[in-house]
A and B are shown apart, each in its own frame.
Chain A
Amino acid sequence: MAPLNGTNVGSTIRVAVKRKIFPPVGDREAQLVLQDVAFEVAPRSFLVVTGPSGCGKSTLLNIIAGLDKDYEGTIDLGSAKDSVTFIFQTPRLLPWRTVYENIALVIPDGDPRHAGIPAMLDRVGLTEAMNAYPERLSLGMQRRAALARGFILEPEILLMDEPFVSLDDPTATSLRELLMELWNRQPTTVIFVTHDRTEAIQLGTRILRLAPGKASVAQDAAVNLTEAQRRDRAAVLAEQNRIFAAT
Protein backbone atom coordinates (compact mmCIF):
# COMPACT_ATOMS: atom_id res chain seq x y z
CA MET A 1 0.00 0.00 0.00
CA ALA A 2 1.19 3.50 -0.79
CA PRO A 3 2.15 5.56 2.25
CA LEU A 4 -0.49 8.04 3.38
CA ASN A 5 0.03 11.74 3.15
CA GLY A 6 2.00 13.32 5.90
CA THR A 7 4.18 10.27 6.31
CA ASN A 8 6.39 10.98 3.31
CA VAL A 9 7.37 13.90 1.17
CA GLY A 10 6.02 12.39 -2.04
CA SER A 11 7.73 12.30 -5.37
CA THR A 12 8.09 14.76 -8.18
CA ILE A 13 5.83 14.37 -11.21
CA ARG A 14 7.65 14.59 -14.55
CA VAL A 15 5.53 15.29 -17.59
CA ALA A 16 7.02 15.27 -21.08
CA VAL A 17 4.46 15.05 -23.86
CA LYS A 18 6.20 15.32 -27.23
CA ARG A 19 3.14 15.10 -29.38
CA LYS A 20 -0.55 14.39 -29.05
CA ILE A 21 -2.67 14.21 -32.17
CA PHE A 22 -6.41 13.69 -32.51
CA PRO A 23 -6.89 11.36 -35.47
CA PRO A 24 -9.09 12.59 -38.32
CA VAL A 25 -12.82 11.99 -37.83
CA GLY A 26 -15.13 12.19 -40.83
CA ASP A 27 -14.17 15.22 -42.91
CA ARG A 28 -12.28 16.87 -40.03
CA GLU A 29 -8.51 16.72 -40.44
CA ALA A 30 -6.10 15.34 -37.87
CA GLN A 31 -5.44 17.90 -35.17
CA LEU A 32 -2.26 18.60 -33.24
CA VAL A 33 -3.38 19.10 -29.65
CA LEU A 34 -0.16 19.17 -27.66
CA GLN A 35 3.46 19.65 -28.69
CA ASP A 36 6.56 19.61 -26.49
CA VAL A 37 4.71 20.18 -23.24
CA ALA A 38 7.25 19.41 -20.54
CA PHE A 39 7.23 20.38 -16.87
CA GLU A 40 7.81 19.02 -13.40
CA VAL A 41 5.50 19.29 -10.44
CA ALA A 42 7.06 19.41 -6.97
CA PRO A 43 5.41 17.30 -4.28
CA ARG A 44 2.55 19.05 -2.49
CA SER A 45 2.33 21.91 -4.88
CA PHE A 46 -0.94 23.11 -6.34
CA LEU A 47 -0.36 23.50 -10.05
CA VAL A 48 -3.07 25.15 -12.11
CA VAL A 49 -3.05 24.52 -15.85
CA THR A 50 -4.94 27.27 -17.60
CA GLY A 51 -5.62 28.54 -21.08
CA PRO A 52 -8.58 29.11 -23.40
CA SER A 53 -10.93 26.24 -24.14
CA GLY A 54 -9.64 23.93 -26.83
CA CYS A 55 -5.97 24.43 -25.95
CA GLY A 56 -5.54 20.85 -24.78
CA LYS A 57 -5.76 21.25 -20.98
CA SER A 58 -8.20 18.42 -20.43
CA THR A 59 -6.35 16.20 -22.90
CA LEU A 60 -3.15 16.80 -20.97
CA LEU A 61 -4.84 15.86 -17.72
CA ASN A 62 -6.28 12.66 -19.23
CA ILE A 63 -2.79 11.73 -20.42
CA ILE A 64 -1.32 12.32 -16.96
CA ALA A 65 -4.14 10.26 -15.45
CA GLY A 66 -3.44 7.38 -17.80
CA LEU A 67 -6.95 7.51 -19.29
CA ASP A 68 -5.52 8.54 -22.66
CA LYS A 69 -2.63 6.32 -23.73
CA ASP A 70 -2.38 7.42 -27.34
CA TYR A 71 0.44 10.02 -27.25
CA GLU A 72 4.17 10.38 -27.79
CA GLY A 73 6.19 11.14 -24.69
CA THR A 74 6.60 10.03 -21.10
CA ILE A 75 4.73 10.59 -17.86
CA ASP A 76 6.58 9.75 -14.67
CA LEU A 77 4.51 9.86 -11.51
CA GLY A 78 7.25 8.20 -9.46
CA SER A 79 6.21 6.30 -6.37
CA ALA A 80 2.84 8.05 -6.35
CA LYS A 81 1.60 6.34 -9.49
CA ASP A 82 -0.74 4.03 -7.58
CA SER A 83 -2.21 6.83 -5.54
CA VAL A 84 -3.80 9.04 -8.17
CA THR A 85 -7.34 10.37 -7.96
CA PHE A 86 -9.30 12.24 -10.58
CA ILE A 87 -12.09 14.71 -9.92
CA PHE A 88 -13.92 15.16 -13.18
CA GLN A 89 -15.60 18.09 -14.89
CA THR A 90 -19.00 16.50 -14.24
CA PRO A 91 -19.46 14.88 -10.82
CA ARG A 92 -19.70 11.36 -12.30
CA LEU A 93 -21.41 9.94 -9.23
CA LEU A 94 -23.31 6.68 -9.60
CA PRO A 95 -26.94 7.88 -9.77
CA TRP A 96 -28.24 4.56 -8.39
CA ARG A 97 -26.13 4.74 -5.24
CA THR A 98 -26.59 7.18 -2.37
CA VAL A 99 -24.05 9.87 -1.55
CA TYR A 100 -22.66 7.74 1.26
CA GLU A 101 -22.43 4.65 -0.94
CA ASN A 102 -20.72 6.63 -3.71
CA ILE A 103 -17.97 7.66 -1.30
CA ALA A 104 -17.69 4.28 0.41
CA LEU A 105 -17.41 2.44 -2.90
CA VAL A 106 -14.04 3.97 -3.81
CA ILE A 107 -12.45 2.63 -0.62
CA PRO A 108 -11.37 -1.02 -0.69
CA ASP A 109 -13.32 -3.34 1.64
CA GLY A 110 -11.99 -3.47 5.17
CA ASP A 111 -9.79 -0.42 4.68
CA PRO A 112 -9.46 1.86 7.73
CA ARG A 113 -10.34 4.90 5.60
CA HIS A 114 -14.02 3.83 5.81
CA ALA A 115 -14.02 5.20 9.35
CA GLY A 116 -13.25 8.66 7.99
CA ILE A 117 -16.41 8.97 5.89
CA PRO A 118 -18.68 10.61 8.50
CA ALA A 119 -16.05 13.28 9.28
CA MET A 120 -15.52 13.88 5.56
CA LEU A 121 -19.27 14.22 4.95
CA ASP A 122 -19.38 16.72 7.77
CA ARG A 123 -16.49 18.71 6.32
CA VAL A 124 -18.18 19.02 2.92
CA GLY A 125 -21.59 19.67 4.50
CA LEU A 126 -23.36 16.58 3.22
CA THR A 127 -24.15 14.76 6.48
CA GLU A 128 -27.85 15.48 6.09
CA ALA A 129 -27.93 14.38 2.46
CA MET A 130 -25.83 11.25 2.83
CA ASN A 131 -28.73 8.90 2.12
CA ALA A 132 -30.02 10.84 -0.88
CA TYR A 133 -29.53 9.78 -4.47
CA PRO A 134 -27.25 12.21 -6.37
CA GLU A 135 -29.85 13.28 -8.92
CA ARG A 136 -32.03 14.60 -6.13
CA LEU A 137 -29.27 17.03 -5.09
CA SER A 138 -28.22 20.34 -6.60
CA LEU A 139 -25.17 20.40 -8.86
CA GLY A 140 -23.23 22.20 -6.12
CA MET A 141 -23.98 19.41 -3.65
CA GLN A 142 -23.07 16.75 -6.21
CA ARG A 143 -19.74 18.49 -6.69
CA ARG A 144 -19.18 18.48 -2.92
CA ALA A 145 -19.79 14.74 -2.95
CA ALA A 146 -17.28 14.35 -5.79
CA LEU A 147 -14.70 16.33 -3.77
CA ALA A 148 -15.34 14.15 -0.73
CA ARG A 149 -14.94 11.03 -2.85
CA GLY A 150 -11.60 12.29 -4.14
CA PHE A 151 -10.18 13.39 -0.79
CA ILE A 152 -11.36 10.38 1.24
CA LEU A 153 -8.68 8.28 -0.47
CA GLU A 154 -5.93 10.62 0.78
CA PRO A 155 -4.25 10.41 -2.64
CA GLU A 156 -0.71 11.53 -3.29
CA ILE A 157 -1.75 13.05 -6.59
CA LEU A 158 -5.09 14.73 -7.18
CA LEU A 159 -6.07 15.64 -10.72
CA MET A 160 -8.98 18.03 -11.23
CA ASP A 161 -10.60 18.97 -14.50
CA GLU A 162 -12.64 22.19 -14.11
CA PRO A 163 -14.56 20.72 -11.17
CA PHE A 164 -16.40 24.00 -10.49
CA VAL A 165 -17.55 24.88 -13.98
CA SER A 166 -21.21 25.81 -14.63
CA LEU A 167 -21.95 26.75 -11.04
CA ASP A 168 -23.32 30.13 -9.98
CA ASP A 169 -20.79 32.51 -8.47
CA PRO A 170 -21.52 32.11 -4.74
CA THR A 171 -21.66 28.31 -5.04
CA ALA A 172 -18.40 28.21 -6.96
CA THR A 173 -16.75 30.51 -4.39
CA SER A 174 -17.87 28.37 -1.47
CA LEU A 175 -16.64 25.24 -3.23
CA ARG A 176 -13.24 26.84 -3.90
CA GLU A 177 -13.01 27.72 -0.22
CA LEU A 178 -13.92 24.16 0.65
CA LEU A 179 -11.21 22.88 -1.69
CA MET A 180 -8.61 25.14 -0.07
CA GLU A 181 -9.67 23.93 3.36
CA LEU A 182 -9.44 20.27 2.32
CA TRP A 183 -6.09 20.82 0.64
CA ASN A 184 -4.61 22.67 3.65
CA ARG A 185 -5.64 19.73 5.79
CA GLN A 186 -4.31 17.20 3.28
CA PRO A 187 -1.60 18.96 1.27
CA THR A 188 -1.27 16.64 -1.67
CA THR A 189 0.11 17.26 -5.16
CA VAL A 190 -2.66 18.81 -7.23
CA ILE A 191 -2.90 19.44 -10.95
CA PHE A 192 -5.97 21.58 -11.51
CA VAL A 193 -7.27 22.51 -14.94
CA THR A 194 -9.40 25.62 -15.44
CA HIS A 195 -10.03 28.36 -17.99
CA ASP A 196 -11.04 30.79 -15.23
CA ARG A 197 -8.05 33.05 -14.44
CA THR A 198 -9.35 34.28 -11.10
CA GLU A 199 -9.94 30.72 -9.98
CA ALA A 200 -6.42 29.86 -11.14
CA ILE A 201 -4.82 32.62 -9.04
CA GLN A 202 -7.00 31.99 -6.02
CA LEU A 203 -6.20 28.29 -5.82
CA GLY A 204 -2.80 27.71 -7.37
CA THR A 205 0.72 27.96 -6.01
CA ARG A 206 1.93 27.85 -9.58
CA ILE A 207 0.32 28.64 -12.93
CA LEU A 208 1.05 26.92 -16.20
CA ARG A 209 -0.57 28.61 -19.17
CA LEU A 210 -1.04 26.69 -22.41
CA ALA A 211 -1.14 28.72 -25.60
CA PRO A 212 -3.95 28.20 -28.07
CA GLY A 213 -2.93 27.08 -31.54
CA LYS A 214 0.70 26.48 -30.59
CA ALA A 215 -0.40 23.66 -28.30
CA SER A 216 2.51 24.22 -25.95
CA VAL A 217 3.44 25.95 -22.67
CA ALA A 218 3.19 29.75 -22.98
CA GLN A 219 3.90 30.75 -19.40
CA ASP A 220 5.03 29.20 -16.12
CA ALA A 221 4.67 31.43 -13.08
CA ALA A 222 4.61 31.09 -9.30
CA VAL A 223 1.69 32.62 -7.40
CA ASN A 224 2.84 34.70 -4.46
CA LEU A 225 -0.17 34.91 -2.19
CA THR A 226 -0.61 34.06 1.46
CA GLU A 227 -3.50 31.99 2.72
CA ALA A 228 -5.37 35.11 3.84
CA GLN A 229 -4.72 36.98 0.61
CA ARG A 230 -6.36 34.18 -1.37
CA ARG A 231 -9.66 35.06 0.27
CA ASP A 232 -9.21 38.74 -0.55
CA ARG A 233 -10.65 39.68 -3.94
CA ALA A 234 -8.42 42.72 -4.42
CA ALA A 235 -5.24 40.81 -3.66
CA VAL A 236 -6.26 38.01 -6.03
CA LEU A 237 -7.05 40.53 -8.75
CA ALA A 238 -3.69 42.33 -8.30
CA GLU A 239 -1.82 39.04 -8.56
CA GLN A 240 -3.91 38.07 -11.56
CA ASN A 241 -2.97 41.31 -13.31
CA ARG A 242 0.69 40.80 -12.49
CA ILE A 243 0.84 37.22 -13.81
CA PHE A 244 -1.32 37.65 -16.87
CA ALA A 245 0.02 41.14 -17.68
CA ALA A 246 1.79 39.80 -20.75
CA THR A 247 -1.44 38.70 -22.40
Chain B
Amino acid sequence: MAPVSTRSSSIPKLAGAFGFNAAIERLAWMVGSLLVFGIFWQVLADLLQNRYLPTPIAVFEIMGREAANGELWKHTSATLWRVAVAFVVSMFIGTAIGMTLGRYKTADRFFDAWLILFLNLPALVTITLCYIWFGLTDAAAITAVALNKIPNVAVNMREGTRSLSKDLSEMATMYKFGRWKTLRHVTIPQLAPFFAAAARSGLSLVWKIVLVVEAFGRSNGVGYRLSIAFQEFDVGTILAYALAFIFIVQLIEFAVLQPLQARVNAWRR
Protein backbone atom coordinates (compact mmCIF):
# COMPACT_ATOMS: atom_id res chain seq x y z
CA MET B 1 0.00 0.00 0.00
CA ALA B 2 1.23 3.44 -0.85
CA PRO B 3 1.62 6.00 1.93
CA VAL B 4 -1.53 7.83 2.80
CA SER B 5 -1.52 11.56 3.30
CA THR B 6 -2.11 12.92 6.78
CA ARG B 7 -5.18 14.64 5.39
CA SER B 8 -7.01 11.57 4.20
CA SER B 9 -5.95 9.32 7.08
CA SER B 10 -6.54 11.66 9.99
CA ILE B 11 -10.11 12.53 9.07
CA PRO B 12 -11.64 9.08 9.59
CA LYS B 13 -9.70 8.69 12.86
CA LEU B 14 -10.95 12.02 14.16
CA ALA B 15 -14.47 11.17 13.10
CA GLY B 16 -14.13 7.88 14.97
CA ALA B 17 -12.98 9.65 18.13
CA PHE B 18 -15.83 12.14 17.92
CA GLY B 19 -18.28 9.30 17.33
CA PHE B 20 -17.08 7.46 20.45
CA ASN B 21 -17.25 10.50 22.71
CA ALA B 22 -20.63 11.43 21.33
CA ALA B 23 -21.94 7.92 22.04
CA ILE B 24 -20.71 8.06 25.66
CA GLU B 25 -22.24 11.48 26.14
CA ARG B 26 -25.55 10.38 24.66
CA LEU B 27 -25.54 7.28 26.86
CA ALA B 28 -24.87 9.38 29.98
CA TRP B 29 -27.79 11.66 29.17
CA MET B 30 -30.04 8.69 28.57
CA VAL B 31 -29.12 6.90 31.80
CA GLY B 32 -29.47 10.14 33.76
CA SER B 33 -32.88 10.98 32.39
CA LEU B 34 -34.17 7.43 32.86
CA LEU B 35 -32.93 7.51 36.46
CA VAL B 36 -34.92 10.69 37.09
CA PHE B 37 -37.97 9.04 35.53
CA GLY B 38 -37.53 5.99 37.79
CA ILE B 39 -37.25 8.15 40.91
CA PHE B 40 -40.35 10.12 39.90
CA TRP B 41 -42.25 6.86 39.38
CA GLN B 42 -41.07 5.43 42.73
CA VAL B 43 -42.10 8.56 44.64
CA LEU B 44 -45.49 8.71 42.92
CA ALA B 45 -46.19 5.01 43.61
CA ASP B 46 -45.14 5.41 47.25
CA LEU B 47 -47.46 8.39 47.64
CA LEU B 48 -50.50 6.86 45.94
CA GLN B 49 -50.19 3.38 47.45
CA ASN B 50 -52.52 2.05 44.74
CA ARG B 51 -52.37 -1.63 43.66
CA TYR B 52 -52.71 -0.52 40.02
CA LEU B 53 -49.49 1.48 40.16
CA PRO B 54 -46.74 -0.79 41.50
CA THR B 55 -43.35 0.73 42.31
CA PRO B 56 -40.47 0.19 39.84
CA ILE B 57 -38.80 -2.02 42.43
CA ALA B 58 -41.88 -4.26 42.55
CA VAL B 59 -41.91 -4.41 38.75
CA PHE B 60 -38.26 -5.47 38.64
CA GLU B 61 -39.03 -8.16 41.23
CA ILE B 62 -41.78 -9.53 38.96
CA MET B 63 -39.37 -9.39 36.02
CA GLY B 64 -36.83 -11.39 38.03
CA ARG B 65 -39.45 -13.96 39.02
CA GLU B 66 -40.64 -14.40 35.43
CA ALA B 67 -37.06 -14.66 34.21
CA ALA B 68 -36.29 -17.30 36.87
CA ASN B 69 -39.25 -19.53 36.00
CA GLY B 70 -38.48 -19.29 32.27
CA GLU B 71 -41.75 -17.58 31.31
CA LEU B 72 -40.08 -14.29 30.35
CA TRP B 73 -37.68 -15.93 27.92
CA LYS B 74 -40.35 -18.25 26.49
CA HIS B 75 -42.61 -15.34 25.57
CA THR B 76 -39.97 -12.83 24.46
CA SER B 77 -38.23 -15.39 22.25
CA ALA B 78 -41.54 -16.29 20.58
CA THR B 79 -42.19 -12.60 19.96
CA LEU B 80 -38.65 -11.93 18.74
CA TRP B 81 -38.91 -14.77 16.27
CA ARG B 82 -42.16 -13.33 14.85
CA VAL B 83 -40.65 -9.83 14.74
CA ALA B 84 -37.61 -11.13 12.87
CA VAL B 85 -39.62 -13.03 10.25
CA ALA B 86 -42.14 -10.22 9.73
CA PHE B 87 -39.32 -7.66 9.54
CA VAL B 88 -37.29 -9.56 6.94
CA VAL B 89 -40.35 -10.39 4.84
CA SER B 90 -41.66 -6.83 4.82
CA MET B 91 -38.24 -5.26 4.10
CA PHE B 92 -37.71 -7.66 1.22
CA ILE B 93 -41.14 -7.31 -0.40
CA GLY B 94 -41.41 -3.59 0.39
CA THR B 95 -38.01 -2.92 -1.21
CA ALA B 96 -38.91 -4.86 -4.34
CA ILE B 97 -42.22 -3.02 -4.71
CA GLY B 98 -40.68 0.37 -3.94
CA MET B 99 -37.85 -0.04 -6.45
CA THR B 100 -40.27 -1.15 -9.15
CA LEU B 101 -42.61 1.79 -8.55
CA GLY B 102 -39.70 4.22 -8.40
CA ARG B 103 -38.39 2.98 -11.70
CA TYR B 104 -41.52 2.46 -13.82
CA LYS B 105 -43.79 5.48 -14.07
CA THR B 106 -46.82 3.59 -15.39
CA ALA B 107 -46.67 1.05 -12.57
CA ASP B 108 -46.32 3.90 -10.09
CA ARG B 109 -49.34 5.76 -11.49
CA PHE B 110 -51.45 2.64 -11.29
CA PHE B 111 -50.38 1.29 -7.91
CA ASP B 112 -50.09 4.62 -6.11
CA ALA B 113 -53.77 4.44 -5.08
CA TRP B 114 -53.29 0.90 -3.77
CA LEU B 115 -50.33 2.05 -1.74
CA ILE B 116 -52.34 4.88 -0.19
CA LEU B 117 -55.14 2.43 0.59
CA PHE B 118 -52.80 0.02 2.37
CA LEU B 119 -50.90 2.82 4.12
CA ASN B 120 -54.16 3.98 5.72
CA LEU B 121 -55.65 0.58 6.43
CA PRO B 122 -55.82 0.29 10.25
CA ALA B 123 -53.64 -2.49 11.70
CA LEU B 124 -56.67 -3.86 13.49
CA VAL B 125 -58.47 -4.45 10.20
CA THR B 126 -55.62 -6.38 8.56
CA ILE B 127 -55.14 -8.42 11.71
CA THR B 128 -58.79 -9.46 12.11
CA LEU B 129 -59.18 -10.16 8.38
CA CYS B 130 -56.01 -12.26 8.22
CA TYR B 131 -57.14 -14.34 11.21
CA ILE B 132 -60.63 -14.80 9.75
CA TRP B 133 -59.38 -15.68 6.26
CA PHE B 134 -56.29 -17.73 7.09
CA GLY B 135 -57.11 -19.07 10.57
CA LEU B 136 -55.40 -18.45 13.91
CA THR B 137 -51.93 -19.44 12.69
CA ASP B 138 -48.45 -17.95 12.81
CA ALA B 139 -48.54 -17.56 9.04
CA ALA B 140 -51.67 -15.40 9.34
CA ALA B 141 -50.13 -13.40 12.18
CA ILE B 142 -46.93 -12.67 10.24
CA THR B 143 -48.86 -11.85 7.07
CA ALA B 144 -50.92 -9.32 9.01
CA VAL B 145 -47.81 -7.63 10.42
CA ALA B 146 -46.06 -7.62 7.04
CA LEU B 147 -49.13 -6.12 5.33
CA ASN B 148 -48.92 -3.24 7.78
CA LYS B 149 -45.24 -2.60 7.23
CA ILE B 150 -44.77 -3.26 3.49
CA PRO B 151 -46.44 -0.03 2.23
CA ASN B 152 -44.20 1.96 4.54
CA VAL B 153 -41.00 0.37 3.24
CA ALA B 154 -42.26 0.65 -0.34
CA VAL B 155 -42.85 4.40 -0.03
CA ASN B 156 -39.35 4.91 1.39
CA MET B 157 -37.64 2.83 -1.26
CA ARG B 158 -39.70 4.40 -4.04
CA GLU B 159 -38.43 7.80 -2.94
CA GLY B 160 -34.88 6.45 -2.93
CA THR B 161 -35.21 4.95 -6.39
CA ARG B 162 -36.67 8.17 -7.78
CA SER B 163 -33.71 10.11 -6.47
CA LEU B 164 -31.11 7.85 -8.11
CA SER B 165 -28.55 10.04 -9.89
CA LYS B 166 -28.90 10.16 -13.67
CA ASP B 167 -25.32 11.48 -13.87
CA LEU B 168 -23.93 8.40 -12.18
CA SER B 169 -26.01 5.99 -14.23
CA GLU B 170 -24.71 7.67 -17.42
CA MET B 171 -21.21 7.28 -16.04
CA ALA B 172 -21.86 3.60 -15.38
CA THR B 173 -23.15 3.18 -18.93
CA MET B 174 -20.17 4.95 -20.51
CA TYR B 175 -17.69 2.94 -18.46
CA LYS B 176 -19.49 -0.35 -19.24
CA PHE B 177 -20.21 -1.28 -15.62
CA GLY B 178 -22.79 -3.88 -16.58
CA ARG B 179 -25.76 -4.91 -14.48
CA TRP B 180 -24.10 -6.43 -11.44
CA LYS B 181 -21.38 -3.79 -11.01
CA THR B 182 -23.93 -1.00 -11.42
CA LEU B 183 -26.20 -2.54 -8.79
CA ARG B 184 -23.41 -3.11 -6.30
CA HIS B 185 -21.37 0.07 -6.68
CA VAL B 186 -23.84 2.63 -8.02
CA THR B 187 -27.43 1.73 -7.10
CA ILE B 188 -27.19 0.04 -3.69
CA PRO B 189 -24.99 2.71 -2.08
CA GLN B 190 -27.52 5.34 -3.16
CA LEU B 191 -30.43 3.34 -1.74
CA ALA B 192 -28.67 2.32 1.49
CA PRO B 193 -29.66 5.42 3.51
CA PHE B 194 -33.31 4.96 2.51
CA PHE B 195 -33.11 1.28 3.40
CA ALA B 196 -31.52 2.05 6.78
CA ALA B 197 -34.21 4.62 7.57
CA ALA B 198 -36.95 2.17 6.58
CA ALA B 199 -35.33 -0.53 8.72
CA ARG B 200 -35.14 1.66 11.83
CA SER B 201 -38.69 2.93 11.63
CA GLY B 202 -39.73 -0.57 10.56
CA LEU B 203 -38.45 -2.36 13.61
CA SER B 204 -40.40 -0.20 16.04
CA LEU B 205 -43.59 -0.48 13.99
CA VAL B 206 -43.26 -4.25 13.52
CA TRP B 207 -42.77 -5.15 17.16
CA LYS B 208 -45.72 -3.08 18.28
CA ILE B 209 -48.02 -4.73 15.76
CA VAL B 210 -46.65 -8.18 16.58
CA LEU B 211 -47.79 -7.67 20.17
CA VAL B 212 -51.31 -6.81 19.05
CA VAL B 213 -51.39 -9.84 16.76
CA GLU B 214 -50.29 -12.06 19.64
CA ALA B 215 -52.88 -10.62 22.00
CA PHE B 216 -55.57 -11.39 19.45
CA GLY B 217 -54.85 -14.89 18.35
CA ARG B 218 -51.67 -16.57 19.55
CA SER B 219 -51.07 -18.69 22.66
CA ASN B 220 -47.54 -17.47 23.37
CA GLY B 221 -45.46 -14.31 23.01
CA VAL B 222 -45.29 -11.06 24.94
CA GLY B 223 -48.59 -9.86 23.45
CA TYR B 224 -50.37 -13.01 24.62
CA ARG B 225 -48.85 -12.68 28.11
CA LEU B 226 -49.96 -9.03 28.29
CA SER B 227 -53.54 -9.93 27.33
CA ILE B 228 -53.65 -12.53 30.16
CA ALA B 229 -52.26 -9.96 32.58
CA PHE B 230 -54.89 -7.51 31.40
CA GLN B 231 -57.66 -10.00 32.17
CA GLU B 232 -56.26 -10.28 35.71
CA PHE B 233 -55.67 -6.51 35.99
CA ASP B 234 -52.07 -7.45 36.81
CA VAL B 235 -50.34 -4.11 36.11
CA GLY B 236 -47.02 -5.31 37.55
CA THR B 237 -46.69 -8.09 34.99
CA ILE B 238 -47.78 -5.80 32.15
CA LEU B 239 -45.05 -3.31 33.04
CA ALA B 240 -42.45 -6.03 33.62
CA TYR B 241 -42.96 -7.53 30.15
CA ALA B 242 -43.20 -4.15 28.47
CA LEU B 243 -39.93 -2.98 30.03
CA ALA B 244 -38.14 -6.22 29.20
CA PHE B 245 -39.14 -5.94 25.57
CA ILE B 246 -38.31 -2.25 25.28
CA PHE B 247 -34.87 -3.13 26.60
CA ILE B 248 -34.35 -5.83 23.97
CA VAL B 249 -35.53 -3.63 21.09
CA GLN B 250 -33.30 -0.76 22.21
CA LEU B 251 -30.40 -3.18 22.37
CA ILE B 252 -30.99 -4.19 18.74
CA GLU B 253 -31.29 -0.53 17.78
CA PHE B 254 -28.02 0.41 19.49
CA ALA B 255 -25.99 -2.67 18.64
CA VAL B 256 -27.17 -3.37 15.10
CA LEU B 257 -29.18 -0.67 13.37
CA GLN B 258 -27.31 2.46 14.45
CA PRO B 259 -23.83 1.10 13.62
CA LEU B 260 -25.25 -0.10 10.30
CA GLN B 261 -26.54 3.36 9.51
CA ALA B 262 -23.23 4.92 10.53
CA ARG B 263 -21.42 2.53 8.21
CA VAL B 264 -23.47 3.26 5.12
CA ASN B 265 -22.86 6.98 5.71
CA ALA B 266 -19.12 6.70 6.37
CA TRP B 267 -18.11 8.33 3.09
CA ARG B 268 -20.07 11.51 3.76
CA ARG B 269 -18.16 14.66 4.54
List of A residues within 8 angstroms of B3 by Cβ: 127-128
The answer to whether A67 touches B7 (Cβ under 8 A) is no
The answer to whether B267 touches A133 (Cβ under 8 A) is yes
The answer to whether A65 touches B174 (Cβ under 8 A) is yes
The answer to whether B4 touches A131 (Cβ under 8 A) is yes
Q: Taking the complex as formed, is A88 at the interface, i.e. its CB lies under 8 A from any CB of chain B? A: yes
Chain B residue with the shortest CB-CB distance to A137: B8
Distance in Å from the Cβ of B269 to the closest Cβ of chain A?
A: 5
Chain-A contact segment, one of B60-68, B163-171, B209-217: B163-171
Tell whether A131 pairs with B8 under 8 Å between CB atoms, given A67-B173, A94-B189: yes
Q: Taking the complex as formed, is A85 at the interface, i.e. its CB lies under 8 A from any CB of chain B? A: yes
Chain A residue with the shortest CB-CB distance to B264: A96
Distance in Å from the Cβ of A166 to the closest Cβ of chain B?
A: 15
Q: In whole angstroms, how far apart are the Cα atoms of A94 and B176 in the complex?
A: 15
Q: Mark A111-128, 1 if CB is under 8 A from B, else 0.
A: 000000010010000011
List of A residues within 8 angstroms of B1 by Cβ: 131
In-complex Cβ contact of B167 among A65, A90, A118 (8 A): A90
Question: What range describes how many residues of B lie at the interface?
Answer: 20 to 34
Q: Taking the complex as formed, is A130 at the interface, i.e. its CB lies under 8 A from any CB of chain B? A: yes
The answer to whether B173 touches A128 (Cβ under 8 A) is no
Interface residues of B in 81-129 (CB under 8 A from A): none
Q: Mark B144-186, 1 if CB is under 8 A from A, else 0.
A: 0000000000000000000000011011011111000100011
Chain A residue with the shortest CB-CB distance to B186: A94
List of B residues within 8 angstroms of A108 by Cβ: 176
Distance in Å from the Cβ of B9 to the closest Cβ of chain A?
A: 7
List of A residues within 8 angstroms of B174 by Cβ: 65, 67, 84-86
Q: In whole angstroms, how far apart are the Cα atoms of A108 and B175 in the complex?
A: 10
Distance in Å from the Cβ of A1 to the closest Cβ of chain B?
A: 12
Chain B residue with the shortest CB-CB distance to A134: B267
In-complex Cβ contact of A67 among B11, B170, B175, B267 (8 A): B170
Interface residues of A in 5-23 (CB under 8 A from B): none
Q: Taking the complex as formed, is B231 at the interface, i.e. its CB lies under 8 A from any CB of chain A? A: no
Chain A residue with the shortest CB-CB distance to B170: A67
Tell whether A95 pairs with B267 under 8 Å between CB atoms, given A105-B177, A128-B8: yes
Interface residues of A in 32-65 (CB under 8 A from B): 65
List of B residues within 8 angstroms of A97 by Cβ: 185, 267
The answer to whether A94 touches B168 (Cβ under 8 A) is yes
Q: Taking the complex as formed, is B5 at the interface, i.e. its CB lies under 8 A from any CB of chain A? A: yes
Question: What range describes how many residues of A lie at the interface?
Answer: 20 to 34
The answer to whether B5 touches A129 (Cβ under 8 A) is yes
Q: In whole angstroms, how far apart are the Cα atoms of A130 and B1 in the complex?
A: 10
Distance in Å from the Cβ of A235 to the closest Cβ of chain B?
A: 35
Q: In whole angstroms, how far apart are the Cα atoms of A127 and B1 in the complex?
A: 10
Chain B residue with the shortest CB-CB distance to A84: B174
Distance in Å from the Cβ of B192 to the closest Cβ of chain A?
A: 8
Q: Taking the complex as formed, is A92 at the interface, i.e. its CB lies under 8 A from any CB of chain B? A: yes
Chain B residue with the shortest CB-CB distance to A82: B176
List of A residues within 8 angstroms of B185 by Cβ: 94, 97, 105
Q: Taking the complex as formed, is B48 at the interface, i.e. its CB lies under 8 A from any CB of chain A? A: no
Tell whether A118 pairs with B2 under 8 Å between CB atoms, given A96-B267, A135-B269: yes
Distance in Å from the Cβ of B14 to the closest Cβ of chain A?
A: 12
Chain A residue with the shortest CB-CB distance to B4: A131
Interface residues of A in 120-162 (CB under 8 A from B): 121, 127-133, 135-136, 149, 153
Q: Taking the complex as formed, is B268 at the interface, i.e. its CB lies under 8 A from any CB of chain A? A: yes
Distance in Å from the Cβ of A165 to the closest Cβ of chain B?
A: 15
Most A CB within 10 A of own CB, among B3, B167, B267: B267
Q: Taking the complex as formed, is A167 at the interface, i.e. its CB lies under 8 A from any CB of chain B? A: no
Q: Mark A83-113, 1 if CB is under 8 A from B, else 0.
A: 0111010101011110000000110100000
In-complex Cβ contact of B181 among A105, A131, A135 (8 A): A105
The answer to whether B2 touches A136 (Cβ under 8 A) is no
List of B residues within 8 angstroms of A86 by Cβ: 170-171, 174
Chain B residue with the shortest CB-CB distance to A86: B174
Q: In whole angstroms, how far apart are the Cα atoms of A149 and B8 in the complex?
A: 20
In-complex Cβ contact of A135 among B9, B171, B267 (8 A): B267
Q: In whole angstroms, how far apart are the Cα atoms of A89 and B189 in the complex?
A: 22
4 A-B pairs with the lowest CB-CB distances in the bound complex, closest first: A132-B8, A128-B5, A86-B174, A96-B189
In the complex, given contacts A105-B181, A130-B2, A135-B267, what are 5 additional A-B residue pairs having Cβ atoms less than 8 angstroms apart?
A: A96-B189, A108-B176, A129-B8, A131-B8, A131-B9
- Ordered by A's residue number, 23 sampled pairs between the chains whose C-beta atoms are within 8 Å are A67-B170, A86-B171, A88-B171, A90-B167, A92-B170, A94-B185, A94-B189, A95-B267, A95-B268, A96-B267, A105-B175, A121-B2, A127-B2, A128-B2, A128-B4, A128-B5, A129-B5, A129-B8, A130-B4, A131-B1, A131-B9, A132-B4, A135-B268
